Structure 1
Amino acid sequence: MHDHHDHHDQRAGRDHAPRVVVVTGASSGIGRATAHAFAERGDTVVLAARSAGTLEDVARECVERGGRVTVVPTDVTDAGAVTALVRRAVADHGRVDVWVNAAAVWSYGRFEDTPDEVFRRVLDTTLLGQVHAARAVLPVLRAQGRGVIVNVASVYGLVSAPYVSAYVAAKWGLVGFTEVLRHELRDLPDVHVCAVLPGTVDTPIYRHAANVVGRRIRPLPPVVAPERVAAAVVRVAGRPRARTVVGRAQHVAVWVHALTPGLYERVAGPLVDRLTLLDEPVAPTTGTVERPDPGSNAVRDGWRSRDAARVGAGLAVVGGAVAGAAAVVLRRVVDRRG
């Protein structure tokens, strides 16, 4: 646990006071991209994740981008460790302006094939980790009278698919939990709780996933860059919004699920089977659910660069679903008017 300081002047054109930003899940994927994005704005970033060695790499990347950094290795499933993270941020920097909950682990496979300990660990990290954070940091934000919590949820907090029961349970829970916090914080107009809901993002989470489906998996196209999600997090930290979905196709999925749930159920399963399961058998693995894999931590995993053909196939299926949904909605409107 130590600090990395930028000894250069802040870049010209920065017209805001530097903030203190805590990012959990900062070692990889969306969390790492988000840490970079805040550092580029000259903010002080407190980096938290399980992989201490990786966090040192992320710290150097943030300093190169013009930020100040504190590294606090943290397992968010440990409520005491999360409380210590809050205390460290306040002790070192005097306050917390923005808290980004980006820690998550993932499992893939039928619910009946998923070991109970894997299911529980996904919930412990992806839902209860954010609950521990809220419990620890809200008293600080209440005392300050201001601050923003950004929960990196998922489109899987609004829709569903086969093989992701634990992750869907965690993200649906996180979306609801976020909404309840907003109800309860109405007496603090300058304390905000925001949800950012990405769809499929080009991160190592697919490589990191526990996998009991028996085949290698890949993300459901079209895949968006993690930097786009990071930009959305930075945006809502500055101009809070209750809910932000990242990705056009993801907006479509939410719309179809809400308006025509029967059609969504018919389309989702075949789409997932066709586009996410590769013809490459793999032995069951718990991935990084139990312990991190520092060597594979990165912002991106390269899915977008090798995805053109599958994106076309995915968009064709999504386009068919949209057409079907539009037809159903139009039929309902005509029926009502008739």
Structure 2
Amino acid sequence: MSRSFSGLVAVITGASSGIGRATAHAFARQGATVILAARRAERLEDVARECESLGGRALPVPTDVTREEQVQDLARQTLDRFGRIDVWFNNAGVGVFGRFKDIPSDVWRRVIDINLFGYVHGARAVMPVFRRQGHGVLINNASIVGRLAKPDSTAYATSKFAIRGFAEALRQEVLDQPDIHICTILPAVIDTPFFHHAANFSHHNVRAAPPVYTPEKVARTVLGLVQRPRAEVIIGGAGKFGAVLKRVAPSLGTRLNARALNYGFLSNEPSGETTGTLFEPARDRFTVRGDWRKGPNNGGVPLLATLALIGIPLALAAWKQPSLPMHRRR
């Protein structure tokens, strides 16, 4: 980064693994203080030790983001210890795979509770702090699914679309506060334990559809937003291409996305039903990465290549085709 973050105070939810853990490490390397929130107390202690060894300060605060009182306490402990909050990264999230008809209602609701209301609780806790301070950066992790959706993930897609709308509404509410920023990141497929931890009612094993990007890439983007806030940032070339295709050829984008992602995320191997980490945290070996980038092909269709080979010619054809007068269309 171009300058030190020494003295900066950042709260990170979902900090025990994946993007949250990688981001905690990135802040710590820059000398920042990180407040680590997740359900797994023992994992948070591990992350705190890692951050301190990297040169930062760390405070682990076990937190279930679906419990608003716990999120309020997270903010309160941060203020009591450090006196301010400069950055709040809403990152805790879960997923579920399966057709809409196969996902139980309590599972659907739990995904919304964690992914959406967890972020609402975070904003409720930190926005009054930002207003009192006159500055602050709230960063929401919404996923490229919040722009494109994907099959077999209706609850997850709904939560991510909602996060983008929530962030935009908050952005409009702080126009009177030029030093308060609301940012949204939309990562493509990232090499984290997310796919190991997801609930699954698809009856197929879940895997990460390539290309798979590193969590460190996301962490660098988060730190960059602290220095230069932007409303929304897509992370990963596949996500950027998908967003362009969706804009210039919406129907084609929907069809291509549905077919490529359905094949990419679900293998032919059968799987039993599981609620993953929705109701209980995982007790596994995974920390930052999920080991999805190993080997020549980590399962599924290489998404970027598929989009490039199929999508570009069709998108160009759709772009060049002259529009017909309304009476001829009818």
TM-score (norm 1): 0.92
Give the equivalent residue in structure 2 for 1:174.
163
Greater shift in the superposed pair: 65-74 or 304-313? 304-313
**Aligned partners of 2:323 and 2:221: how far apart in 1?**
35
**Aligned partners of 2:44 and 2:93: how far apart in 1?**
16
- For residue 99 of structure 2, what is the amino acid of its counterpart? R
Would the alpha carbon gap of residues 332 and 39 (structure 1) be closer, same or farther in structure 2, given more than 3 Å must change? farther
**Aligned partners of 1:282 and 1:99: how far apart in 2?**
37
Give the equivalent residue in structure 2 for 1:4.
none
Give the equivalent residue in structure 2 for 1:263.
252
**Aligned partners of 1:128 and 1:309: how far apart in 2?**
33
Kept after mapping to 2: 8 A contact 1:252/1:322? no
1:47 aligned onto 2:36: yes
From 321, 325, 329, the equivalent of 2:311 is 321
1:143-158 aligned at under 5 Å gives the runs: 143-158=132-147
Deviations 1:175-226 (A, max 9, x none): 0100110100001100101001101001110000000000101112111001
Kept after mapping to 2: 8 A contact 1:105/1:125? yes
1:272 aligned onto 2:261: yes
1:33-72 aligned at under 5 Å gives the runs: 33-72=22-61
Percent identity of equivalent pairs = 44
Please state whether the residue corresponding to 1:151 is helix, strand or coil: strand
Kept after mapping to 2: 8 A contact 1:48/1:73? yes
1:227-266 aligned at under 5 Å gives the runs: 227-266=216-255
Give the equivalent residue in structure 1 for 2:210.
221
1:81 aligned onto 2:65: no
Kept after mapping to 2: 8 A contact 1:27/1:297? no
- For residue 245 of structure 2, what is the amino acid of its counterpart? V
Kept after mapping to 1: 8 A contact 2:4/2:30? no
- For residue 50 of structure 2, what is the amino acid of its counterpart? E
Please state whether the residue corresponding to 2:269 is helix, strand or coil: strand
Report how many aligned residue pairs link the two structures: 324
How much does 1:16 deviate?
Answer: 4.7
How much does 1:297 deviate?
Answer: 3.8
**Aligned partners of 2:180 and 2:262: how far apart in 1?**
42
How much does 1:104 deviate?
Answer: 0.1
1:193 aligned onto 2:182: yes
**Aligned partners of 2:322 and 2:212: how far apart in 1?**
32
Would the alpha carbon gap of residues 266 and 15 (structure 1) be closer, same or farther in structure 2, given more than 3 Å must change? closer
Please state whether the residue corresponding to 1:294 is helix, strand or coil: coil
**Aligned partners of 1:101 and 1:243: how far apart in 2?**
14
Kept after mapping to 2: 8 A contact 1:77/1:125? yes
- For residue 117 of structure 1, what is the amino acid of its counterpart? D
State the superposition RMSD in angstroms: 1.8
Give the equivalent residue in structure 2 for 1:202.
191
**Aligned partners of 1:317 and 1:129: how far apart in 2?**
35
Runs of 4+ in 1 over 3 A off after TM superposition: 13-17, 307-313, 332-335
Would the alpha carbon gap of residues 225 and 15 (structure 1) be closer, same or farther in structure 2, given more than 3 Å must change? closer
- For residue 180 of structure 2, what is the amino acid of its counterpart? V
How much does 1:239 deviate?
Answer: 1.1
Would the alpha carbon gap of residues 233 and 334 (structure 1) be closer, same or farther in structure 2, given more than 3 Å must change? farther
Would the alpha carbon gap of residues 141 and 306 (structure 1) be closer, same or farther in structure 2, given more than 3 Å must change? same
**Aligned partners of 1:89 and 1:332: how far apart in 2?**
58
**Aligned partners of 1:179 and 1:284: how far apart in 2?**
36
**Aligned partners of 1:297 and 1:135: how far apart in 2?**
31
Please state whether the residue corresponding to 2:22 is helix, strand or coil: helix
Give the equivalent residue in structure 1 for 2:271.
282
Deviations 1:281-302 (A, max 9, x none): 1110000011101324411011
- For residue 160 of structure 1, what is the amino acid of its counterpart? A
Kept after mapping to 2: 8 A contact 1:47/1:72? yes
Please state whether the residue corresponding to 1:27 is helix, strand or coil: coil
Stretches of structure 2 lacking an aligned partner (at least 5 in a row): 326-330
Kept after mapping to 1: 8 A contact 2:116/2:159? yes
Give the equivalent residue in structure 1 for 2:321.
331
**Aligned partners of 1:76 and 1:312: how far apart in 2?**
34
1:306 aligned onto 2:295: yes
Stretches of structure 1 lacking an aligned partner (at least 5 in a row): 1-12
